[in-house]
Amino acid sequence: MQTRTLRGLYLAASAALTLAGCAASPPGAPHASYSPDIPWLERLSFGVNSQVLAQYQKLGRSGFLESQLQPTDERLPDPVARELAQLPTAPIDAEHLFVGITLEQRRINALPEGAEKQDARKRLNDQGNQAAYEARRRELLRALYSPAQLKEQMVWFWLNHFSVFEQKGNVRWMLADYSERAIRPHALGHFRDLVMATLRHPAMLQYLDNAQNAVGHINENYARELMELHTLGVDGGYSQHDVQELARVLTGVGVAGPEPPKVRAELRSLYRREGGFEFNPGRHDFGSKVLLGHTLTQAGMAEVAEAVTLLVHQPACARFVSRKLAVYFVGDDPPAGLVERMAQTFQQTDGDIAAVLRTLFTSRELAAQAGRKFKDPMQYVVSALRMAYDTRLIQNTHPVTGWLGALGEPEFGHQTPDGYSLQDTAWSSSGQMSRRFEIARAIGSGSAGLFDPDDGSKAPPAGGFPLLTTPVYYGIVEPTLSMRTHDALQSARSQQEWNLYLLASPDFNYR
């Protein structure tokens, strides 16, 4: 097919964009001063687009890395920024929101059986589903359009590491707040702050049942996962006894109800309440506790913080978190030397996530694995949309959340607390490959309704299929294509089919 003529039609060809290896630079574009390290940028981002290239051009390699490790510019395109500020789930007053849901549930439960009760229940349920959808949409729009691409990947990574499931309890209403308040502020900060922020969030406390954990009514669910999945790893050197002791430490750590509880006068100073979180000393076990061989010395929430500090200072924690990061960015079986250096950085910097990532992104081990990591569904879908539409804003994210569901990686949709697998092999089964191709077809044919309004109404047909033959394609994709993929593209009978083959190709499915 005539790709060269199509290129001229591409409207978003950014004049600021300079591409080494571009066969024919768009008129007026400055000449490439150096060739960007595309595989490296592919892993720093959810997919290289014109914005990433422009930033790289401006800042150079180390400047770009620093701008990603400590982002000062997280500006979203205007319509997206306005929308995110306006969503009803914006974390203005989480406590008010969560308590309001509880009160509404109480009111409904007190209604006599009948149509009114059913209607009220359905309304509340629909509202919950909408809140969950909006939380997913927020994450998607940021992943697609935020210039802080590494941070967006880390937000996904931590939401997965500290996974919560939307269908449990009232978690649906809490998702946006969980991301905004517990995860985002610490995504590139200190690991301990991240653990404490998730520990203090009602979504996690409800999801892992700690809201029910009280003296005399021990529930060890969260205590176990806090060590096994969040900090130490299953081989991290703790015992069943440690699980029980940590469960006692966590008694009284729960979710704020509509009315503050009655607390005995002598304990009142230990009561805490904030944003839907509550520490109720009346439910706490004040007996002495020994965790990992250390006798804890503090009381109340201070004891909880003491226990978390003890956990995150274990060498096992540094190794566990470092290895998981390396699996996500480098490969299924990351080199032990790299993991060791990352763990050293972790310990030397008191768990500074940005510092650990600097060790990772300046390592030769990462470079050696260029182009060998199979994209997980989130990386695949977001990168395909960034490739297809660059910075042109999609309107309707319902098809996108549907694709992530079909590929088995819906946001906030993992039932168990281990989160989604980071291994390549979890996403490349036969069924997943054919589904991925179906999604490539849907994106490539422009038939998915991405530019219809998000409320489900239909827009007048506009745009048709995307033109993937963009400056980004000619500059960074085409020069590296394998012969087989090149042949497949040559054989395409239409632009839509060409798009399908590019997005379905092995070249595009790895990074």
- Residues found near another protein in the complex (CB under 8 A): 209, 212, 214, 216-221, 224, 228-229, 234, 240, 243, 405-408, 415-416, 418, 421, 425-435, 437-438, 441, 482, 484-485, 487-488, 491, 493, 497, 500-501, 504-506
Q: Is 256 in contact with 272 (CB distance < 8 Å)?
A: no
* Cβ distance to another protein smaller for residue 181 or 398: 398
Q: CA nearest 281: which of 295, 294, 296, 264?
A: 264
- Shortest distance, position 228 Cβ to another protein, whole Å: 6
CA distance 463 to 449: 11
Q: Is 357 in contact with 150 (CB distance < 8 Å)?
A: yes
Q: Is 46 in contact with 149 (CB distance < 8 Å)?
A: yes
* Cβ distance to another protein smaller for residue 382 or 489: 489
- Shortest distance, position 423 Cβ to another protein, whole Å: 9
- Shortest distance, position 448 Cβ to another protein, whole Å: 14
Q: Give the type of residue at 299.
A: A
* Cβ distance to another protein smaller for residue 101 or 500: 500
* Cβ distance to another protein smaller for residue 118 or 482: 482
CA distance 279 to 249: 12
* Cβ distance to another protein smaller for residue 22 or 407: 407
Length of the chain: 511
CA distance 409 to 427: 9
Q: Is 381 in contact with 505 (CB distance < 8 Å)?
A: no
- Shortest distance, position 482 Cβ to another protein, whole Å: 8
* Cβ distance to another protein smaller for residue 331 or 351: 331
- Provide the token pair at 107: 């009111």
* Cβ distance to another protein smaller for residue 132 or 208: 208
* Cβ distance to another protein smaller for residue 10 or 207: 207
- Provide the token pair at 218: 């021990």
Query: In the 8-state DSSP scheme, what is residue 461?
Result: P
CA 278 to chain centre: 26
Neighbours of 6 (CB within 10 A): 15
The CA-atom distances, in angstroms, between 244 and each of 205, 311, 380, 465, 488 are 17, 15, 41, 57, 59
* Cβ distance to another protein smaller for residue 188 or 481: 481
* Cβ distance to another protein smaller for residue 27 or 287: 287
The C-alpha torsion from 220 through 223 and 229 to 232, rounded to 10°, is -130
Q: Is 387 in contact with 218 (CB distance < 8 Å)?
A: no
- Shortest distance, position 383 Cβ to another protein, whole Å: 17
Parallel, antiparallel or unpaired: strands 272-274 and 290-291: unpaired
- Shortest distance, position 418 Cβ to another protein, whole Å: 5
- Shortest distance, position 317 Cβ to another protein, whole Å: 17
CA distance 162 to 198: 7
CA distance 62 to 352: 19
- Shortest distance, position 496 Cβ to another protein, whole Å: 11
CA distance 385 to 375: 14
- Shortest distance, position 511 Cβ to another protein, whole Å: 15
- Shortest distance, position 508 Cβ to another protein, whole Å: 10
Strand ranges (DSSP E) for 293-359? 294-295
* Cβ distance to another protein smaller for residue 10 or 328: 328
- Shortest distance, position 436 Cβ to another protein, whole Å: 9
Residue linked to tokens 């539409």: 389
- Provide the token pair at 233: 């790893």
CA distance 266 to 258: 23
Residue linked to tokens 């996690």: 204
- Shortest distance, position 393 Cβ to another protein, whole Å: 27
